Amino acid sequence: MIIRGFLLGDAPFFPGRVSIASHEGRVWFLADTGATRTLLLDHDAQALGLTMSELEPASLHLTGIGGSVRPFVAREADVQFTSTESIEVPWRQDLLVVRPNAAEVTPGEVACIRRLPSLLGRDFLRRFRFVCDCRSGEVLLER
């Protein structure tokens, strides 16, 4: 089974469908082997119609290349990707939704973080063979 992604510039992306409670929509995930966890950025959560008040604050704090973010937990989120055989590949887990922590970062840093995509982390990627060949333009996940 193969899930095909694509390159935007030299960055590997996979389109997925995210369902959290009664909110659903398409999210473009950047495959990030440096990210421990898959993260949904707040602007993608808002595009799904989800408000941060519907989520519970996470007990951990995250800092990454984009700066400091405040994580919230979306319980039992469903993330689905479609294989080349038109088979839905479901993944259900608690998903971290992150937003910039305005108390800890400057307005310029907040603006930079808001431009970042949601991340497909190693918690998902390790279930597959991940191929990203920039020369051929091939991006895929294979079971």
Range of the domain at 115: 16-127
Residue 11 lies in a domain: no
Tell me whether residue 83 is in a domain.
Answer: yes
Residue 142 belongs to a domain = no
DSSP state, residue 54: G
Amino acid of residue 49: G
- Torsion angle in degrees (nearest 10) through CA of 76, 16, 1, 5: -150
Residue 1 lies in a domain: no
pLDDT in tens, 83-112: 888 889 989 999 999 887 777 777 787 777
CB 38 within 8 A of CB 121: yes
The domain spanning residue 64 has which CATH number?
Answer: 2.40.70.10
Q: Could you tell me if 48 and 18 are in contact, meaning their C-beta atoms sit under 8 angstroms apart?
A: yes
Going by C-beta distance under 8 Å and a sequence separation of 6 or more, which residues neighbour residue 111? none
* pTM, to two decimals: 0.88
Q: Average pLDDT for consecutive 10-residue bins of the chain (143 residues)?
A: 95 96 95 94 93 89 72 93 90 90 74 84 96 96 94
Q: How many domains does the chain have?
A: 1
Q: Report the distance separating Cα 66 and Cα 46, nearest Å.
A: 19
